[in-house]
Structure 1
């Protein structure tokens, strides 16, 4: 294993270990009965859980079978609950200190367990809600006006969905469900801006098989996301092409007067690489035509000044998941601002960032919702 991935795994594992220790410490402090009765057992359980997600992830990169998928699902679900339990532990301690500071805890022995029970019950309900909410896919209907749009494109529809994360949790049934929903709109074209796969091992052709039932007149277009580029993206790209999906790897195509381009995720990770990728775009040997509308598939809602300067009318992105669940919904918005989700303008450029159809890690959504976007060109 290379040094950087190994270091990243160690850092993640260290963070998870500390989070589990803090939750365990809080539980013992607020529910003292756990210490003598089940303290040792609880320590063992928490230790196993602390390593569960990293171990399950490593297994999923090497193996693809029911046992590994089930272990990964359990570990991912627990990781989601751990998130809520960790932040709840912080809140419980803050509330407890406030009660003691203002002398509001008349009977500490009775209040501590009650206080913890109320807050952890809320956290548990949030996790359960998140599990169900992540499976309810919303339909977003958006009308977009593109300058100089040919009359032949007016009224035509595109289906756009990102971040399926096909893998141990979101399998072929999930893909079939999305394709069925998309087919129901009878789209003229389909856009997939990245993270089609979770980056784990699996039968890629089997996972993509449902796309064979989706045959829009102008095709299906894909650009890579970070999860396709964790390792060499070649085998993902080959599988995607075998499924009849056109991969826009720093290239573009002209369809009936509408320019459609896509950049590799790696290209968007620095301004210099992004500019070089866009400068190299060539449809049929000619340079980008500013007099014609252009759509760019760029996995992350980044490098907007470069994209606008190049003359694109619309960028379609994903990546953010809308933060997926609290508190990352707030953290993500602090990073990407209004471009975390929805349709927004950056000068003359319109940017739609999808919250994505799938999930990564915990199969939960709290504060965000999965979506498929139906675009109507005007």
Structure 2
């Protein structure tokens, strides 16, 4: 159903843009035919990218995924900017019209072709040259704005993630664990666009931050282990003091979750499948728990908070790894101190930031849900267009502190 809705929207967006950017800006003839063929080809390229992006090996998919996803991003911003420009376009409609011709003094003669009769109201006549100028000016403005946004977004998405340091005060945290650091990375999205070098950079940045623990909170890859296992191999070089841990995201369930869980375990990034472990240092400890993603429910592998939190002690804090921020509702009811999540990409493409709260309790950053802290990373990769506008990628370093009495 998601695919049908997305395909319909993509088709309608291309049709609208063809009308505004091709039909309205050209006369019948060669230029319009060339523009029409180009739009049809680019629309087909987007459909091929969306449908086959995960169905063929990344080495093959990258040949159409790069141009297809970049054009998809352009379509999004061309559509939005053209819609915004409809407002001044409507306000200027009167500028492209002229007054009707005044009636002549001779009443017996037949009225000229462009002059209204006595019984017909005067109809304003369209100045075609002005209308064409307005359509072309609107198209140029939309193209310039969209190209600028996509260019900046490409630089954000393909550049190094921001390293964010986020202090979080937890009740029940032993003072000897003050400064305990958890590197949180999510939504790496290995695939036809992002490969091994992307993982190597993430691992290098995490290791340079010298964390005590690494949490990979889902959406590692968009493909099979056979196709993308080599791209994920650098994760074996993660070197935190207390270990690396992994929970599934919704994208793991699109392909082969069991295979990726086994692969992460082989690489030394320990899966927490509705499980809990204790991180001890000296006489102090933290309970670290992880739950499966909500998408696992369709295959009988969904989140089980009671199982994950069973047997925990009430005198030490609980940190929960859960891919989707919305899972904090169950976490808060069970007294979790801190939930670490991803999934939202921080909105990835402005203005979609404003729509994320319709499904999730937070877009990015630190939020308080009842007595539970929720931290949402913007993720280190991207899904779909290799573009991030208003939501640069990040790796977050959570620094735990005792809550002041």
Query: So what's the TM-score if we normalise by structure 2?
Result: 0.83
Partner residue of 1:124 out of 126, 138, 147: 147
CA distance in 2, matches of 1:342, 1:8: 28
CA distance in 2, matches of 1:11, 1:334: 18
Please give the secondary structure, in 1, of the residue aligned with 2:54: helix
> Equivalent residue for 2:54?
61
Q: CA RMSD in A?
A: 2.5
> Equivalent residue for 1:115?
138
CA distance in 1, matches of 2:2, 2:327: 26
Question: For the Cα contact (< 8 Å) 2:379–2:393, is it kept in 1?
Answer: yes
Please give the secondary structure, in 1, of the residue aligned with 2:53: helix
Partner residue of 1:280 out of 298, 301, 307: 307
> Equivalent residue for 1:363?
386
1:21 matched to 2:15? The reply is yes
> Equivalent residue for 1:3?
none
1:221/1:277 CA distance change after superposition, 3 Å: same
Deviations 1:199-257 (A, max 9, x none): 46753331121112212121111111010011341111111111111111111111112
CA distance in 2, matches of 1:97, 1:190: 54
CA distance in 2, matches of 1:116, 1:65: 35
State the 1:192 CA deviation. 0.9
State the 1:103 CA deviation. 7.7
Larger radius of gyration: 2
1:155 matched to 2:179? The reply is yes
Partner residue of 1:144 out of 168, 187, 190: 168
1:93 matched to 2:57? The reply is no
> Equivalent residue for 1:259?
287
Please give the secondary structure, in 1, of the residue aligned with 2:382: coil
Deviations 1:327-359 (A, max 9, x none): 21221144435x110011112100000111100
Counting only pairs closer than 5 Å after superposition, residues 170-209 of structure 1 correspond to structure 2 as 170-199=194-223, 203-209=227-233
Please give the secondary structure, in 1, of the residue aligned with 2:350: coil
> Equivalent residue for 1:317?
341
Query: So what's the TM-score if we normalise by structure 1?
Result: 0.89
CA distance in 2, matches of 1:93, 1:121: 16
State the 1:29 CA deviation. 4.1
Question: For the Cα contact (< 8 Å) 2:89–2:134, is it kept in 1?
Answer: no
User: Unpaired runs of 5+ in structure 1?
Assistant: 1-6
1:360/1:191 CA distance change after superposition, 3 Å: same
Deviations 1:300-320 (A, max 9, x none): 111323211211100001100
CA distance in 2, matches of 1:109, 1:211: 56
Please give the secondary structure, in 1, of the residue aligned with 2:183: strand
CA distance in 2, matches of 1:342, 1:177: 22
Please give the secondary structure, in 2, of the residue aligned with 1:258: strand
Question: For the Cα contact (< 8 Å) 2:172–2:317, is it kept in 1?
Answer: yes
1:268/1:312 CA distance change after superposition, 3 Å: farther
User: Unpaired runs of 5+ in structure 2?
Assistant: 99-126
Query: Which moves more between the two structures, 186-195 or 65-74?
Result: 65-74
Question: For the Cα contact (< 8 Å) 1:168–1:200, is it kept in 2?
Answer: no
Please give the secondary structure, in 2, of the residue aligned with 1:280: helix
Question: For the Cα contact (< 8 Å) 2:23–2:32, is it kept in 1?
Answer: no
Aligned residues: 365
Deviations 1:114-143 (A, max 9, x none): 232123211111111111111232111111
1:206/1:373 CA distance change after superposition, 3 Å: same
CA distance in 2, matches of 1:88, 1:195: 31
> Equivalent residue for 2:260?
236
CA distance in 1, matches of 2:95, 2:328: 50
State the 1:324 CA deviation. 0.4
CA distance in 1, matches of 2:2, 2:305: 31
Question: For the Cα contact (< 8 Å) 1:341–1:354, is it kept in 2?
Answer: yes
> Equivalent residue for 2:111?
none
CA distance in 2, matches of 1:202, 1:363: 23
Which of the pair is proportionally richer in helix?
Answer: 1
Please give the secondary structure, in 2, of the residue aligned with 1:134: helix
Question: For the Cα contact (< 8 Å) 1:30–1:116, is it kept in 2?
Answer: no
Please give the secondary structure, in 2, of the residue aligned with 1:281: helix
> Equivalent residue for 1:4?
none
